[in-house]
């Protein structure tokens, strides 16, 4: 990333807390600004173990892989229910890739009137639902490309929080500006792009070059959002929140034990928020089927 940080979690670099420049991991003083730097916390040296959050919740190989798996699983459920609904209504199945918009709405798509009525969890579930095979293919392709970059820069725990926050912010803005139905992972994906743009401001000339490439992608996506029925407000909200978070939140693993506990707690809260949102969706779906 930016030619100065390895994607391997065991990177030989860390970030100076004063100037945010990348320096040798074992350096005690920053050669860029001269500030004293405390030794980097050893990865996996926590008593809780490196593969668990607070020693309780196992962390998958990558958070990106887990998110992709959830998106694919939800698409499978959406496709199956669309087939069942088509069979019940017309006596025959839907086309292979056909997705019924009403099924997507029932499973938790963003819809302004429902959100305003108290179904806030739709701001979360919407980012795991898709309206067609091409829709999920394009979003997962982007997530495969962008997710590992952000995850390697910010660690798994921070990544989970950032993904959720940018996705929710995008759909919240969309609910306010364009209350119609929408769904898809493009809101948090635009958040990931925004995060990388924000980070790039701390990486000098290389960051400037990379930032220019990212801005071109943003323009392409927004233009496509004008031509096709994409939710550009969700895109803009995810992008704006990601840009701010990427600029403000330090890269790398937490430098102190207190910071580590803070991010682990936020990560657990994010996982519970996602799980709770799906539980509320299931309860709502069950009540409508009675």
Q: Mean pLDDT per segment of 10 residues, for the chain of length 290 residues? A: 38 55 67 66 41 47 89 94 80 65 94 96 97 91 90 92 97 96 95 93 78 84 79 94 95 88 96 96 77
Residue 221 CB: number of other CB atoms within 10 A? 18
Strands (DSSP E) contained in 124-175 are: none
pLDDT of residue 89: 72
pLDDT of residue 91: 57
pLDDT of residue 8: 38
DSSP H helices in 58-132: 63-90, 101-106, 112-116, 122-125
pLDDT of residue 159: 96
Q: What is the Rg, in whole angstroms, of the alpha carbon atoms belonging to the chain?
A: 20
Distances (CA, A) of 280 to 59, 103, 120, 288: 24, 16, 10, 12
pLDDT of residue 59: 46
Residue 145 CB: number of other CB atoms within 10 A? 12
pLDDT of residue 213: 82
Model-level pTM? 0.78
Short-list 146, 120, 279, 152, CA closest to 221: 146
Residue 262 to residue 20: CA distance in whole angstroms: 20
DSSP helix/strand/coil, 253: coil
Distances (CA, A) of 88 to 81, 84, 91: 10, 6, 6
DSSP helix/strand/coil, 114: helix
Distances (CA, A) of 79 to 49, 119, 132, 285: 39, 23, 9, 16
Residue 78 CB: number of other CB atoms within 10 A? 24
Residue 132 to residue 106: CA distance in whole angstroms: 15
pLDDT of residue 49: 42
CB of 229 closer than 8 Å to CB of 10 = no
Encoded tokens for 59 = 């962390």
CATH topology of domain 61-289: Rhomboid-like fold (1.20.1540)
């Amino acid at each position: 990333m930016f030619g100065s940080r390895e994607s391997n979690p065991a990177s030989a670099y860390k970030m100076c807390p004063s100037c945010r420049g990348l320096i040798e991991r074992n350096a005690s003083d920053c050669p860029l600004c001269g500030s004293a730097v405390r030794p980097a916390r050893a990865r996996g040296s926590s008593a809780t173990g490196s593969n668990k959050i607070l020693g309780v919740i196992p962390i998958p190989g990558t958070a990106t892989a887990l998110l992709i798996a959830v998106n694919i699983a939800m698409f499978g459920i959406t496709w199956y229910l669309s087939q069942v609904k088509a069979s019940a209504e017309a006596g025959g199945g839907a086309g292979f890739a056909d997705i019924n918009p009403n099924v997507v709405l029932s499973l938790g798509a963003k819809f302004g009137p429902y959100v305003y009525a108290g179904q806030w969890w739709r701001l979360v579930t919407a980012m795991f639902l898709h309206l067609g095979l091409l829709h999920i293919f394009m979003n997962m392709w982007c997530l495969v490309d962008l997710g590992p970059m952000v995850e390697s820069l910010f660690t798994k725990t921070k990544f989970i929080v950032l993904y959720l926050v940018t996705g929710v912010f995008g759909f919240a803005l969309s609910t306010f500006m364009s209350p119609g139905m929408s769904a898809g992972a493009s809101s948090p994906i635009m958040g990931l792009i925004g995060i990388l743009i924000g980070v790039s401001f701390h990486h000098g000339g290389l960051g400037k070059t990379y930032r220019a490439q990212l801005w071109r992608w943003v323009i392409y996506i927004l233009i496509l959002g004008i031509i096709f029925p994409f939710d550009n407000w969700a895109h803009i909200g995810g992008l704006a929140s990601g840009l701010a978070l990427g600029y403000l939140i330090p890269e790398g693993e937490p430098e102190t034990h207190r910071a580590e506990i803070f991010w682990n707690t936020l990560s657990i809260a994010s996982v519970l928020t996602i799980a709770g949102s799906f539980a509320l969706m299931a309860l709502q779906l069950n009540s409508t089927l009675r």
